[in-house]
Amino acid sequence: MHQDTRVIHIGEGQVPEADPLTTPIYETTTFRFASAAAVEDYYEGRASSFLYSRYRNPTVLAVEEKLAALDDAETARVFSSGMGAVSSTVMAHVGAGDEVVCAAAIYGGTLHFLQDVLARFGVSVRFAPLEELAEPDQVPGPATKLLWFESPINPTLRCVDIARVASACRRRGVISVVDSTFASPYNQQPLALGADLVMHSATKFLGGHSDVTAGVVAGRRDLVEPIDLTRRLLGTVLDPLPAAQLGRSVKTLGVRMARHNENARRVAEALEADPRVSRVYYPGLESHPDHRIAAAQMRGFGGMVSFDLGGDYQRACRFFDRVRLFQRATSLGGVESLCSLPVATSQRGYTAAQLERAGVTPGMVRLSIGLEDPADLMADLSQALA
């Protein structure tokens, strides 16, 4: 064979005698078959081989097994982003004529997908305020197919009684989905509380290093497997390389979350004691309106802290511009501490009425507390508040 031919084919494929400690990165678009019969066996479900990485990939499959174990789920699926997980999950389970009920206090991307995209395809979308979710029995209507909510909620850290909402949904035959991104599986187990599905933006605490964009949905097999087709056709599957990075990161989730929890608690307590701050939002504080709910369903209270500077956007901007150690950036859950202004980022595009229903003010600041020394973090916040 010519050199051009040899260099393409020699050295490719598996090494049978290799037994790697960690899962190799199968960065390949397609997989080979030994015969036409092997192709038929694949499509007829008689073989667990692989065809194409948009359908199924060994690296991605290994990471899904880890993530399912974290949420104590029957199975899990990963996606190219948190919004990929949101859109694929909702579109797999609802169609024209169905209703989706979503908490009014919700991440902006979820709100805009439901309100601006899904509603164009004959799906009715209704946003329920927290007061209704506190008494959830009457929330699902006759056409409701799926109910979506967060706990803790971005950015107010309000908490919803997951078991109570899930029970109300189960009685009405409605699928309950919890976005548990702010908690992570280390701090909260929505499936054990009765939720049907749990979703995480794996970009955040699961990835943990601000270098992977991904999403995950976990739950019962009969509810997760229908999402496969939607994910395959929408093309929202995660590439093997970031999947391997995600798999590596979740191995340290426990030790990282313990530090996030402790640092956030200390920062929240310091801010609450500071007279320059009008209000602190952290479910670990007894002053938080949902502290009892959080204490009952969370192992730890997470690494997110929000606070209000009197509802004054200009004052919040001045604080934002003065931080030094905290990085002015969106997202959350990484080892480095971040600072953002919700009305300018995660809740951008909300109307005044939507902001009010979500409990978000122009003077709110959101902090993602990283793994730095807590004394350094508190010193930076103090000088920025000056």
pLDDT band per the 50, 70, 90 thresholds, residue 15: confident
Give the model's pLDDT for residue 119.
94
**Poorest-confidence range of 3-17, 65-79, 118-132?**
3-17
Q: Model-level pTM?
A: 0.95
Whether the predicted pLDDT of 8 surpasses 80: no
Interhelix angle 253-272/374-385, rounded to 10 degrees, is 40
pLDDT band per the 50, 70, 90 thresholds, residue 348: confident
Average pLDDT over residues 246-274: 97
Residues 6+ apart with CB under 8 A from 98: 123, 124, 143, 144, 145, 146
| pLDDT, greater one: 2 or 124 | 124
Distances (CA, A) of 263 to 183, 341, 376: 15, 20, 11
Whether the predicted pLDDT of 16 surpasses 80: no
Give the model's pLDDT for residue 160.
98
Could you report the per-residue pLDDT of 285-332, keeping only the tens digit for each?
A: 999 999 999 999 999 999 999 999 999 999 999 999 999 999 999 999
Sequential DSSP letters for 224-259: HTHHHHHHHHHT-PPPHHHHHHHHHHHTTHHHHHHH
Q: Catalogue the active-site residues.
A: 54, 107, 179, 204
Give the model's pLDDT for residue 33.
95
Domains for the chain: give ranges and CATH numbers. Answer: 36-250 (3.40.640.10), 253-385 (3.90.1150.10)
Q: What is the mean pLDDT of the chain?
A: 96
Average pLDDT over residues 266-290: 98
pLDDT band per the 50, 70, 90 thresholds, residue 345: confident
